């Protein structure tokens, strides 16, 4: 069982969702620019249903897309999480992805990079993962840049056509895959520690 806080960074709390987060959760699932590289936006009812499922899954398994909130006032600003994929045969069962979504007013402040870096540490140190992947439409440069900044490498041989993207959105079907292994993450740790100390 996982309740409450997953991890903290200098500016952020990564935690399970609480009732007061529902408005923000709907915002990040319905705002056109935030959802630019996704095939559909969610209504409030659809968003609330997903919110409830996600909160329960995090509580039961410790995996899912966690809320990220500002430490100073616990205001939710988006999500970043570690989730088990359900994309076989494109990704084997047991594959864990890291993913994120941030409300537009908070873009450009490095919050996703900060949260994602902390969750890589959580995944490798606390969850014992051997590899973490991430994937996005190649044109989604904001997301792929974060993947690169946190040390993930592009693996073109594992790119795939996302099975849940409808043919009505052909430009969103192909996904680029990035990955980082435990060993690769450990090799970066001294540089990470130096950068965080300044």
Question: What's 82's domain CATH number?
Answer: 3.40.630.30
> What is the three-class DSSP state of 30?
helix
Query: pLDDT tens digits for the chain (198 residues)?
Result: 455 899 999 999 999 999 999 999 999 999 999 999 998 899 999 999 999 999 999 999 999 999 999 999 999 999 999 999 999 999 999 999 999 999 999 999 999 999 999 999 999 999 999 999 999 999 999 999 999 999 999 999 999 999 999 999 999 999 999 999 999 999 987 655 544 433
**Contacts of 99 by beta carbon, 8 Å cutoff, 6+ apart:** 65, 80, 81, 83, 134
pTM value? Answer: 0.92
Please give the tally of structural domains in the chain.
Answer: 1
Residue 172 is part of which domain span? 5-197
């Amino acid at each position: 069982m996982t309740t409450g806080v997953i991890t903290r960074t200098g500016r952020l709390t990564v935690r399970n969702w609480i009732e007061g987060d529902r408005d923000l959760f709907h915002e990040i699932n319905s705002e056109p620019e935030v959802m630019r590289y996704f095939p559909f936006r969610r209504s409030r009812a659809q968003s609330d249903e997903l919110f409830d499922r996600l909160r329960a899954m995090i509580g039961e398994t410790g995996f899912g897309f966690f809320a990220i909130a500002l430490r100073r006032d616990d205001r939710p600003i988006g999500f970043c999480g570690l989730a088990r994929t359900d994309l076989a045969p494109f990704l084997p069962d047991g594959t864990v992805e890291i993913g994120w979504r941030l409300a537009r007013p908070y873009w450009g402040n490095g919050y996703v990079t900060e949260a994602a870096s902390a969750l890589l540490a959580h995944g490798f140190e606390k969850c014992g993962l051997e590899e973490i992947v991430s994937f996005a439409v190649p044109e989604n440069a904001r997301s792929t840049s974060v993947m690169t900044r946190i040390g993930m490498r592009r693996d073109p041989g594992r790119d795939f056509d996302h099975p849940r993207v409808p043919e009505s959105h052909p430009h969103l079907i192909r996904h680029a895959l990035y990955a980082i292994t435990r060993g690769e993450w450990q090799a970066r740790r001294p540089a990470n520690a130096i950068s965080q100390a300044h």
